Amino acid sequence: MNEENIIEKVRVPTFFKKRYESQIDDFDSPLVNMKAIRVNTLLCNEKKLINDLKKKGVKLNKIDWLDKGYTFESDFSMSSTAEYLKGFFYLQEAASQIPVQVLNPSPGELVLDMSAAPGSKTTQIASYMNNEGVLVALDNSSRRIEKLNNNIERMGVTNSIVYNKDARFANDLNIKFDKILLDAPCSGNYCVEDSWFLKRTSEDFDMKSDTQKQLFSEAFQILKKSGEIVYSTCSLEIEEDEEVVEWALETFNLKLIDTDLNMGNPGCTEKTKLCRKFWPHKTGTQGFFVAKFKKL
């Protein structure tokens, strides 16, 4: 991990320290600040964009484990640049770019984003699809839907259909999908918020897990046979990560498949070794978890 990304170390309460040390031997607790962009190839040439931003004094470095991700340093607001306003890039944390890369949607497919707003992953899916096929995006917040629609327009997405809908009732759409992204609502993680530990209890993790299982159950029902689901969270809690994966494997006719990631640690249980968990002190990113399933 690049030490420059570390802002400070967070004091971890004993309860959480024991939880994390049961998952990984050398646990550490940095607050990290890896600022990153994702290039939008729907609207620009990647090489030209990087050259243009460098001419403006932006320091950019390719993230070697991401398809279109770059870290950056800038003396000015990147969101005020003409390139940002034209939709040439999205300000998107590095780990947040992983789930869509793992899903790897293709042109012509029917794809669902179950928790779409504000649109980072929805617009990333569209870029993989090259605006070909159909992308359905759901969110149950009208306020967040407005942000989603704004980003869809800014990023040049033309193959999306947006519904203001609770994804737990996605079966109402009467559509079967080739691929589904379930980037599930979760409790978050400490490394981007130093007061996180003061706000969370184990009851929070159990409540989130219940919602995550409801969403996964709906996703399985509307997935085509041999279709794929990517399940992800920005949580490091086993109740929201490995335990949801094990529950899914026991409940539904599906299997875990390789994420093809060369970053992150394996899941911390024997049945979840094909999953990847991003520990901030290892990857220099926020905490993240991703699993990929295939319906049998």
In tens, the pLDDT along 115-124 reads 999 999 999 9
What DSSP string runs through 142-191?
A: HHHHHHHHHHHHHTT--SEEEEE--GGGGGGG---EEEEEEE------GG
In a domain, 81, yes or no: no
Q: Residue 227 carries which DSSP code?
A: E
In a domain, 60, yes or no: no
The domain spanning residue 180 has which CATH number? 3.40.50.150
- Domain range holding 131? 94-295
What is the predicted pLDDT for the residue at 1? 47
What is the predicted pLDDT for the residue at 8? 60
In a domain, 186, yes or no: yes
pLDDT digits (tens, 9 = 90+) for 150-181: 999 999 999 999 999 999 999 999 999 999 99
Q: Given the residues 44, 191, 234, 275, select the one marked as catalytic.
A: 234
Which phi and psi (to 5°) does residue 292 adopt? Answer: -125, 130
Residues of the chain with pLDDT under 70: 1-8, 31-33, 192, 194
What is the predicted pLDDT for the residue at 31? 67
| Cβ contact 65:110 at 8 Å | no
What is the predicted pLDDT for the residue at 281? 86
Domains of the chain: total: 1
In a domain, 51, yes or no: no
**Start-to-end Cα distance in the chain:** 38
234 catalytic residue (yes or no):
yes
What pTM value is reported for the model?
A: 0.95
What is the predicted pLDDT for the residue at 44? 98
In a domain, 4, yes or no: no
In a domain, 273, yes or no: yes
In a domain, 7, yes or no: no
What is the predicted pLDDT for the residue at 5? 54
In a domain, 190, yes or no: yes
